[in-house]
Amino acid sequence: MFAPPTIETERLHLRPFRDTDVDAYFWVHDAPEVRASLRIADDFDRDAAWSQLCMWNGQWTLRNSGQLAVVLRETGELIGRCGVHRPERRDWPGLELGWTFHPTHWGNGYATEAGRANMAWAFANHAVDELVSVILAENTASQAVARRLGFTLREERVLAFFPSEPHGIWYKPRP
């Protein structure tokens, strides 16, 4: 069993999710732009958001991987999530670094800042040669974050979990 980390960056506090985060988590994922980018199902509601919080904290406990709440240090507001993801999916390409923020907080470099900190944590705490990021071809904003962190696109393929369209598989070798 593992305990999730807490990470401080210049502007952000990254911490495990709490039960009281459900409304903020749903707010982030209910934004139309986020729903579209992540192909979130129409029936994803506040109850489903709570189940995701449980999933992230469960993954931390079982695998020492998961997403963290991203909180603005200046205001204490929860503005997104970022972290690593290694679900039990037969063709998942590896330990995935990911990021999602509410659109009102895009364009400030928060995803890159949180991603960089999580990347350092992941390489320090997991015996992996590389991290992956699974990104749709149309998601240029996410690709830009990946590029800024040193990821490169290796291949595009259809994953079992996303059968309807191919995803780009981006890789970042251990520094």
Ligand X SMILES: CC(C)(COP(=O)(O)OP(=O)(O)OC[C@H]1O[C@@H](n2cnc3c(N)ncnc32)[C@H](O)[C@@H]1OP(=O)(O)O)[C@@H](O)C(=O)NCCC(=O)NCCS
71 binds ligand X (CB under 6 A): no
55 binds ligand X (CB under 6 A): no
- Name 91's Cβ contacts closer than 8 Å, sequence gap at least 6: 159, 160
53 binds ligand X (CB under 6 A): no
Q: Judged by CB, which is closer to ligand X: 32, or 76?
A: 32
CB 121 within 8 A of CB 139: no
Minimum distance from CB of 3 to ligand X (Å)? Answer: 26
Q: Judged by CB, which is closer to ligand X: 27, or 61?
A: 27
- Residue burial 99-118, b: 16+ Cβ < 10 Å; e: rest: bbbbeeebeeebbbbbbbbb
Which listed residue (145, 169, 170, 171) binds ligand X by CB under 6 A?
Answer: 145
Question: Which residues on neighbouring strands pair with residue 70, listed in sequence order?
Answer: 14, 80
User: Residue 117 is which amino acid?
Assistant: A
Which listed residue (60, 142, 149, 171) binds ligand X by CB under 6 A?
Answer: 142
Residue length of the chain: 175
Number of residues that bind ligand X (CB under 6 A): 20
Which listed residue (38, 95, 153, 159) binds ligand X by CB under 6 A?
Answer: 38
Residues 75-114 binding ligand X (CB under 6 A) are: 98-101, 106-112
117 binds ligand X (CB under 6 A): no
CB 82 within 8 A of CB 30: no
Copy the structure tokens of residue 7: 């990470």
Binding site for ligand X (CB under 6 A): 34, 37-38, 98-101, 106-112, 135, 139, 141-142, 144-145
